[in-house]
Amino acid sequence: MADHDSAHNDVRPRTAVLTRGFDPGLSFGSARPAVFRASTYVFPSPEAAEHAFAITTGKIKPAPGERADLIYSRFSHPNSEILEDQIVPLEPGATDAAVFNSGMAAIMTALLAVLRPGGSVVYTTPLYGGTTGLIHFLEPWGVKGIPVRSGDSKALDEAIRSAKDCCAVLLETPANPTLIMTDIERAAESAARHPDRPAVMVDNTFLGPTFQHPLLLGADVSLYSGTKYLGGFSDILAGVAIGKSLDLVQKMRSRRNMFGNILQPDECWLLNSRLPTVSLRMNRQSKNAQRLAEALEGHKQLSSVIYPTLFKDPEQKRIFEKQCAYPGGLFSIDFKGGKAAAFDFLRNLRIARSAVSLGGLETLTCHPKSTTHSGMTGPELAESGVTDGLVRISVGIEDWRDLLADFEQALAAI
Ligand SMILES: *Cc1c(COP(=O)(O)O)cnc(C)c1O
C-alpha cells in the first residue's frame, strides 16, 4: 500500500511502476500484493474512526504524508490505493489518480466533478459514443454541450473563448475511428485564457500512457478506458482518471464515494499486474500497426489507409509529430467497394477477429458505421468521416507477417 516514498521520484516511469506504490511489508512480505476482499475496515478506537471520517469528508486536512485509515470499500480499499499509486508515474506530470469500474464511469465522474447547472462543456467530435451520449443526457439537466469538429484548431479556440460559464474542455485525440488529432497544448492555452479556467480533460485511451502525455501539454486530467491498452488482455472493464492536481482528484473521489463506481479489489489487482507491461505491449502493437498500414497503403481495393505516419494534411502531421511519441496500434482502411467489400474482407479474415473494443493482445477488426458508430446521424457520420467502406483495426502482438498475409488473402477474396 501507499508509502509516498520520495526515494523513487527520481526514476523513470518504467522503473517507478515496478517500485512505487506497493510495500510488501503490508502484505506479509509477498512479492505481489494480496487481494483484500473486505467491504469494511475495523478501527482500533472510536477516536480513530472519527479522525478517518473527518479526513475522508474533508473536514480536516491530512498531515503531510498521512493517509486516512480505511473505512469502507466504496470509498477506497488497499488494492485501489496500490493501483492508484502505481499508475501515477506512468502519466508524466501527474500527482494522483482515481480508479473506476469502467472508462465511462471515469469520464462521467470527472465531468460531474467540475460541471455546474448552467455550465458548458466544449468537446471535440467525434467522441466515443458513450461520452457523446452522456453529454446529451446532461443537457436537459442544465449543462450546455458545445461540439467542435476534431482537428479544427481555430474553431476550438473560438468555441472556448465564447463559451459562457465554461466548466470543462473535453478532448479525445486521436479521434475514433478516423485518427484525426487535436492540438492539446493549443486547447489548453485557450482554456487558460478563459476567465472561468475550465478543466481541460483528455480521453487518452488510444495513445496513452505510453505515447501521449496530455498533462505535460497543459491538460488537467488524463482519462482512460482501462479496458483497452491498460488492461491489455480484453478481460476486464476499468477506468482511470489521472490528475495534475490533488484537489481535482479529491473532488472526483468524493463523487465516486457517492456514485459507488470504484474499481473492485480483484479488478484492481488484475489491472495492477498489467501496468508494468503496458509500454512493452503498446510498443509492439505500434510497430506491428505501422508495418501493416504502410504495407497496405496504395492497395488497389483501398481508397485510403488512415494512420499517423501516412497523414497528408500538414496540420495533422504537425500535431502528430509534436504531441505523439509513436503512431500507436490502431489504423483504419477504407474500401473502394464500400460496405460490401468491407464485409467480404471481414468475413474472410482468419487470424484477426471481428469484435468491438481495442488494445488487447489479439488483433480485432470492426465496421464502425454498422456497429460502434451506428447511433450517429447521417450528417454526423459524414462530418466525422465514418464511411460505408471504413474498417477499424486494433493491432495485437502477433507476428506482423502473419497478420499481413491474413489481410492480403482477405483482400484478394473480395
Ligand atoms: C472504450 C472507450 C471508452 C469507454 O470505456 P469503457 O471501459 O468501455 O467504459 C471511452 N473512451 C474511449 C476512447 C474508448 O475507446
Q: Are strands 330-335 and 390-394 parallel, antiparallel or unpaired?
A: antiparallel
Rounded to the nearest angstrom, the distance between the alpha carbon of 175 and the centre of ligand 1 is 12
Is the CB of 103 within 6 Å of ligand 1?
yes
- pLDDT tens by residue, 83-106: 999 999 999 999 999 999 999 999
- pLDDT tens by residue, 173-204: 999 999 999 999 999 999 999 999 999 999 99
The CATH superfamily of 278-412 is Aspartate Aminotransferase, domain 1 (3.90.1150.10)
Mutate to test the pocket of ligand 1, among 178, 205, 263 (most ligand atoms within 8 A of CB): 205
Written as one string, the DSSP assignment of 374-411 is TTS-HHHHHHHT--TTEEEEE--SS-HHHHHHHHHHHH
Looking at every residue in the chain, the average pLDDT score rounds to 94
pLDDT at 398 over 50: yes
Q: What pLDDT does residue 317 have?
A: 98
Whole-structure pTM value: 0.95
Is the CB of 110 within 6 Å of ligand 1?
no
Q: Has domain 6-277 been given CATH number 3.40.50.1370?
A: no
| Residues 121, 147: Cα–Cα separation, whole Å | 8
Is the CB of 222 within 6 Å of ligand 1?
no
Domains 6-277 and 278-412 share a fold: no
Q: Of all residues in the chain, what percent are helix, strand and coil, respectively (each to 5)?
A: 45, 15, 40
- pLDDT tens by residue, 13-49: 888 888 888 889 888 899 999 999 999 999 999 999 9
Position 9 confidence tier, pLDDT thresholds 50, 70, 90: low
Rounded to the nearest angstrom, the distance between the alpha carbon of 322 and the centre of ligand 1 is 25
pLDDT at 107 over 60: yes
Per-position b or e across 121-141, b if 16+ CB within 10 A of its CB: bbbbbbbbbebbebbeebeee
pLDDT at 5 over 60: no
Position 1 confidence tier, pLDDT thresholds 50, 70, 90: very low
Q: What pLDDT does residue 20 have?
A: 85
Written as one string, the DSSP assignment of 10-36 is TS-HHHHHHHSS--GGGGTT-SSPPP-
Select from 232, 231, 253, 229 the least CA-distant residue to 242: 253
Is the CB of 261 within 6 Å of ligand 1?
no
Domain ranges of the chain: 6-277, 278-412
Strands (DSSP E) found in 177-299? 199-203, 221-225, 239-243
pLDDT at 377 over 60: yes
Atom of ligand 1 nearest to the CA of 359: 15
Is the CB of 225 within 6 Å of ligand 1?
yes
Return the percentage of the chain with pLDDT > 70, whole number: 98
Residue bearing the CA closest to ligand 1, atom 2: 225
Rounded to the nearest angstrom, the distance between the alpha carbon of 9 and the centre of ligand 1 is 30
Atom of ligand 1 nearest to the CA of 237: 7
